[in-house]
Amino acid sequence: MTTLKRFRSKIDVWLGCAILTGILVSGAITVGLLFQEGVAALAIIPLLATGLSVWLLLGTWYGVTETHLIVHCGPFRTAVPISSIRAIRPTRTVFSAPALSLDRLEVTHTGGALVISPADKAGFIGALKERREEWRAKVAR
């Protein structure tokens, strides 16, 4: 049975406000287009943008199972074997990442690196360390 410890992404106030503003603007554009004759079909474009923005805002989280770090960011998902993690360090990089805050962690693994922003960084790192020790104990048997 797979157990999952789930960690929400930290959300910076400025980024949350920017995303919510985008949601409101694209929602208003959608409504405006729906009531205009001949262009109502174009409402699908801002409607999709609104949906994606909501999905990213509400669907960005990180999970730790017995064997993997799982990263969910809206429709995007990544799984990294815990055994492949080499280092975790704090970063404030502004490069695009599945993170809703600039208070981030860079997770370096054998396949590269990913940047995330768990709200409970200490709990997240603790869960990874705990799972890594469990994994090592199972391999040693």
pLDDT (average), residues 123-131: 92
- Per the CB < 8 A criterion, the answer to whether 18 and 108 are in contact is no
Note down the domain range covering 136: 5-140
* 46 has a pLDDT exceeding 80: yes
Query: At 138, is the pLDDT very low, low, confident or very high (cuts 50, 70, 90)?
Result: low
Show the DSSP H helices in 1-141 as ranges. 13-34, 44-58, 121-140
pLDDT tens figures, 69-107: 999 999 999 999 999 999 999 999 888 899 999 999 999
CATH number of the domain that residue 31 is part of: 2.30.29.30
In percent, the amount of the chain with pLDDT more than 90 equals 57
pTM, two decimals, is 0.83
**Domain count for the chain:** 1
Q: Name the CA radius of gyration of the chain, rounded.
A: 19
Q: Is 88 or 141 the better-scoring residue by pLDDT?
A: 88
